[in-house]
Structure 1
Amino acid sequence: MIKNSFIFLEKISNKKERNIWKQGIKDWHDFLNVENVKGISKEKKYYYDRKIKEAQNALLKEELSYFIRKLPKIETWRLYDYFKDECGFLDIEIDSYGKTILVGISDYYNANFFVKGSNLEKDILEKELSKYKLIITFNGSSFDLPKLKKQFGLKINIPHIDLKHLCVNLGLKGGLKEVEKILDIKRPQHLNGNPVDLWKAFHASGDKEWLDLLIAYNNEDIENLKAIMKFVYKKNKEKLNG
């Protein structure tokens, strides 16, 4: 979808982007190979040509930060399809004091979990995060990422898609669990508990079963992020095509 996008260009709105598509100009290649675009002056067309070539170069080098700077926040979903094999879905759990006790990060193949008292350390997290081109969270802009930055001193410069903002834009309001219900995403009954209580039980008893249950809970969150991302991408694409 990113190669079909013109909204990152200066003064190109959703409406103007649709007008470009209606002229049979469906992607960057089409735009560069036509002499005139209705509604765009020759001077502006020349300027946009240069900017599109700049974007092509950024995409070739996988410089996602370029597009994060250029795209409106509610349009960052357009990057997903091109980079989905290099996405990291991230979710954290906190204790009753607001401290991070578990971080789960997953691509479409493997999930890794980092637990307080075991492997939840700055260097380990930085190494894990460096594997990904794009991080996807639910409300991570306000919660997960600030927590990690403050508690561990992490510098997270990886481009980020926050699903909460994209869901609100589609009329899906509430937290992750509320959005799951709206979309009829089912989770096992035993993974509907409170992660704070699970951590308390593990901390008090030392029984690994409680920790395993907490990790399973976090993993379910991550898996549901993937389902929500796919839904958001599909719905936004349908809106554009409609």
Structure 2
Amino acid sequence: MIRSTFRHLPGVGPGKEARLWQEGCLTWDDALARGRLSCRGGGGAAAHLEESKARHEAGDAQWFGERLAPAEQWRLFSAYRHSVAYVDIETTGMAWPMAHITSIALYDGVTVRTYVHGENLEAFADDILPYRLLVTFNGRSFDAPFIERSFGIRLRMAHLDLRPVLRAAGYTGGLKRIEHSLGMGRGDLEGVDGFTAVLLWQHYERTGDVRALETLLAYNVEDVLSLEQLAVFAYNRHLAELPPLPVATLPQCGCAHNPWNAHPEVLARLTR
């Protein structure tokens, strides 16, 4: 989809992009061959298109991410899915700087990794840096700034926050509400939310009950596993709203295996 995108170019909005597609400029190469595109900025349209090609060939997802609106970041997904990090954090429940991260889940489409405060949390700062596309839900407002402040790093990659992307497709509310509207369930973790995650961490710190930590990690991982399914859904949903382009839809993926198990008896004790 990124090679059929013109919205990242200066002065190109939805109307102009739609007209380009109608005129047969379905890709950057089409626009270069037809010479039908004009846009603001030095060097002219051809220079902007050639730079787009060079940036894409170099795998520079961040360059496109900086030039696309948050609701349009879905256009990057298929091109950079090979270097994606689905990320979700849990915290002690207060605002920065009073709170701290308790756990982080990272899933790259193949491997699930978890990080725990007081154990291996610091390793996340190095592990996240090689990825070119970050996928979160509400991460622009919460996860990303919390991570950057906590670790003193900059997340220098494109950021696909699914909350504005799904809102633009008509799906509003929190992650669990959207999952339910799409028929996605959570098994033993049904009904568990961020407040429960705080209680699980407090119980683990107070008692050392590893079942509470395992349940917290199971909940944390469930969030990142659902992000992959929602990213595929959002990509296909937005693509279906566009005129026919030389772009294939993505096959919906099944939910990957969660390596952690929830303990219902712990949840029942904390939530009754």
SS at match of 2:138: coil
TM-score, scaled relative to structure 1: 0.90
Cross-structure match for 1:151: 150
Cross-structure match for 1:66: 63
| Shift >4 Å, 4+ stretches | 40-44
Deviation digits for residues 188-238 of structure 1 (CA, Å, limit 9, x no counterpart): 133532111221222222122221111111111111111111111111111
State the alpha-carbon separation in 1 of the partners of residues 129 and 88 from structure 2: 16
> Is contact 1:7–1:14 with CA below 8 Å preserved after alignment?
yes
> Is contact 1:191–1:217 with CA below 8 Å preserved after alignment?
no
Deviation digits for residues 118-146 of structure 1 (CA, Å, limit 9, x no counterpart): 0011xx12211123111111111111111
> Is contact 1:195–1:214 with CA below 8 Å preserved after alignment?
yes
Instruction: Report 1:29-108 matches (<5 A).
Output: 29-34=29-34, 36-37=35-36, 47-97=44-94, 98-108=99-109
TM-score, scaled relative to structure 2: 0.81
Cross-structure match for 2:114: 113
SS at match of 1:33: helix
State the alpha-carbon separation in 1 of the partners of residues 224 and 239 from structure 2: 23
> Is contact 2:92–2:100 with CA below 8 Å preserved after alignment?
yes
Q: What RMSD, in angstroms, separates the aligned Cα atoms of the two structures?
A: 2.1
State the alpha-carbon separation in 2 of the partners of residues 156 and 86 from structure 1: 14
State the alpha-carbon separation in 1 of the partners of residues 59 and 38 from structure 2: 30
1:26 aligns with 2:26: yes
Which one-letter code corresponds to 2:149 in the other structure? Answer: K
Cross-structure match for 2:165: 166
Shift of 1:56: 0.5
Shift of 1:73: 2.1
Q: Which has the higher helix share?
A: 1
State the alpha-carbon separation in 1 of the partners of residues 172 and 30 from structure 2: 37
Percent identity of equivalent pairs: 28
Cross-structure match for 1:229: 231
> Is contact 1:191–1:216 with CA below 8 Å preserved after alignment?
no
State the alpha-carbon separation in 1 of the partners of residues 191 and 200 from structure 2: 11
Number of residue-to-residue matches in the alignment: 236
> Is contact 1:91–1:103 with CA below 8 Å preserved after alignment?
yes
SS at match of 2:184: coil
Instruction: Report 1:117-132 matches (<5 A).
Output: 117-121=118-122, 124-132=123-131
